Structure 1
């Protein structure tokens, strides 16, 4: 559909290559913050494509390839018109053409290639629900390197081909006060930030769903992904809570990223903070404070917001994978098979290569923790799901309610015992 925004002109030194050849555009390249827009029809011509336009429809043909049909007014692509020239976002061009990208920060170039990968998509029989979330994804540290972002796209390809939908806990603003870094990709343009946004869009296109993992996931002089943003002492009044939640939401909206959930950093939010969160979100991807358990529950306040726990926890330390596999193998029928995983842990299991014309190749070891976790859950007859596909009965869950009452009773008895002493 036609995208109506004020775009910025790109500096002339950004280079776009296709199949090893540099493309020289007559019309300039634009950007919407960190999303690139190319003159679409000129691009098609330069890569030896032919097109025919009939009203709102564009028919595109390349030799030895299937024809492509687009309705630029109704299809879910980011088209825009500048000075009577039809533009399309770089990511959408790659999607339509099934093209791979390789980003080189040193030469300030983006190289595109026809996708030659032969990936088989497996059909997984339905089974017990399993959930996986990629944790602490943010435009900083491991996730700005060109190689690492390419590896992240390789991970997304694996998940897609394996039939595993996944979730992305995204920290919208990366802050590192000790190093004077404050990176908000909805405000600050750079080639690295553009690559990060491109990669996030790629993950979403490969079966991912994105959520907001706080706003900065830190407090004061702490570094994002390490610090704690919400707890009894931090951002604990309604005004502060709303300010940070709304800042995270506005960042996602500005970037047009369709967030589906919220997760408080380190699960440290209080019951009051969660009561504010659920006024904004239909899904909170953590335990509901006061109703600790291994199942999905509805908020006892608005009876609408789902709280989704992660009883399998995450991979931590050198023996973390073995411990995770042990938890999976000993999982009982009543416990939700839900976990979170830091995707950078798999980067060392991916080797990037290039063919003679620069085509990006990769080798992804099946011994990686993520491969092992996915296989273990499949072996236990689980099938992965998106959290937006989940629901629970409207009736209150008796086991949860009983646990909640027992928890209150335990606290009361503990208090009485202390007072007797």
Structure 2
């Protein structure tokens, strides 16, 4: 009797286990099978137009850009457009050039490349492939079944690693080009929060900054693979008055600014939060990123609010979501703080209005003014040039876990730690050394075990 009951229970357990495994396997393959089944329904599919002579064009500025993907230079008949510093490319033509197929049924575009299937839902503005699904940044443009897609969205779908040659207006791409590195995901150990911010991000147009955004995308990808959220302190309008440089996205629509906007799109799609770091981060003839902008250097409330509005308008024009504001060099008056609180819920700098020793270093500090905005300090400070090892050792030895693990980092410090190269097919690739300053910082913070968050989580 006991044996019969035992075997009955055992058989039931085995059946339930097999059902569980089958269900799990089915759920993992549902999306793939759905895409394959729908894509194979040739009788109901409409093959999209590749007779490009019927194309009427769009009312946008054309940009003479050459694209190379996996070492193949694309031979394009249709124009590349540049609208508000975003490139738009013909999806039909790019898929054809990559030896793929594209068809349409109802509001779905089906793409097949290298036996992989992708579905673009035109009504929902989403894309689905394998077990992934995300919303496209921009809606597709359509003229007689010839579809244009923003280059960033195309890049996001096919996981492109891109290199922008500003001198020759070439975008050299590699599909799945970020897959040469797979760092272990970050694991938190304590409840105290941590925050990381990349400082003074902007388009300087200096010779030393030629590879700036490519290397910053590599760093952002590292953070994305580590599953650590990060913040970008963006200078919307970068000026160097004595060199005649004024990179104002509101008045200029060009290849160089387009890479910056592409990078901002990349950050927001890969676990990053963009914030406004002033407007120009300078005064007078001083270069952006170096000079002060507010506070005792310009206490005018009128000038402050005008610049805040210009910065917000720039982000809105470019369709860049903004999650915080940071006063350049943390210099701001109490009256200017009250104005900032009208526009932002997160002020990513210490609240020093009652004295520097009164800023809360243990947690985000609720404003005593509007009772809704939060100020966030960076008690771990930053890593200055020339003092990298000294500062890293100081952070490593700081065992005060009552304070937030909040720190900011200047991306240019990693310049010599990232090497850009090409593979045997002349596609872009890179190496990122393990003992870089930034990776050392992450290792130290991971050893302490902070729980990293986005400021928007507040």
TM range (shorter): 0.7 to 0.9
How far is the alpha carbon of 1:223 from its aligned partner?
A: 1.3
Do the aligned partners of residues 125 and 230 (structure 1) sit closer, same or farther apart at CA in structure 2, a change above 3 Å counting?
Answer: same
* Pairing of 1:57-76 with structure 2 (within 5 A): 57-64=108-115, 66-74=116-124, 75=126, 76=135
SS at match of 2:296: coil
Is the aligned partner of 1:79 residue 2:131?
Answer: no
How far is the alpha carbon of 1:173 from its aligned partner?
A: 0.4
360, 369, 376: which one aligns with 1:301:
369
- When the two structures are superposed, what TM-score results if normalisation uses the length of structure 2? 0.79
Residue 368 (structure 1) aligns with: 436
Residue 414 (structure 1) aligns with: none
Find the aligned partners of 2:371 and 2:207 in 1 and give their Cα distance: 37
Q: Is the 8 A contact 1:262 1:284 kept in 2?
A: yes
Do the aligned partners of residues 99 and 332 (structure 1) sit closer, same or farther apart at CA in structure 2, a change above 3 Å counting?
Answer: same
168, 193, 200: which one aligns with 1:107:
168
77, 80, 103: which one aligns with 1:52:
103
* Pairing of 1:212-251 with structure 2 (within 5 A): 212-234=276-298, 236-251=299-314
Find the aligned partners of 2:346 and 2:207 in 1 and give their Cα distance: 26
Q: Is the 8 A contact 1:283 1:308 kept in 2?
A: yes
Structure 2: runs of 5+ lacking an equivalent: 1-57, 127-134
* Pairing of 1:119-268 with structure 2 (within 5 A): 119-120=181-182, 122-126=184-188, 127=190, 128-141=192-205, 145-234=209-298, 236-268=299-331
SS at match of 1:243: helix
Moved more, 278-287 or 113-122: 113-122
How far is the alpha carbon of 1:366 from its aligned partner?
A: 1.5
Compute the RMSD of aligned alpha carbons.
1.9
Do the aligned partners of residues 49 and 20 (structure 1) sit closer, same or farther apart at CA in structure 2, a change above 3 Å counting?
Answer: same
Do the aligned partners of residues 9 and 141 (structure 1) sit closer, same or farther apart at CA in structure 2, a change above 3 Å counting?
Answer: closer
Residue 349 (structure 1) aligns with: 417
Do the aligned partners of residues 56 and 133 (structure 1) sit closer, same or farther apart at CA in structure 2, a change above 3 Å counting?
Answer: same
Structure 1: runs of 5+ lacking an equivalent: 1-5, 391-421
Q: Is the 8 A contact 1:352 1:361 kept in 2?
A: yes
SS at match of 1:250: helix
Moved more, 296-305 or 112-121: 112-121
Find the aligned partners of 1:180 and 1:108 in 2 and give their Cα distance: 22
Structure 1 outlier segments of 4+, above 6 Å: none
How far is the alpha carbon of 1:142 from its aligned partner?
A: 5.8
51, 54, 77: which one aligns with 1:26:
77
How far is the alpha carbon of 1:141 from its aligned partner?
A: 4.8
SS at match of 1:203: helix
How far is the alpha carbon of 1:143 from its aligned partner?
A: 9.0
How far is the alpha carbon of 1:202 from its aligned partner?
A: 1.7
How far is the alpha carbon of 1:270 from its aligned partner?
A: 0.9
Q: Which has the larger radius of gyration?
A: 2
Find the aligned partners of 2:229 and 2:380 in 1 and give their Cα distance: 17
- When the two structures are superposed, what TM-score results if normalisation uses the length of structure 1? 0.86
SS at match of 1:252: helix
SS at match of 1:25: coil
User: How many residues in Structure 1 have an aligned counterpart in Structure 2?
Assistant: 382
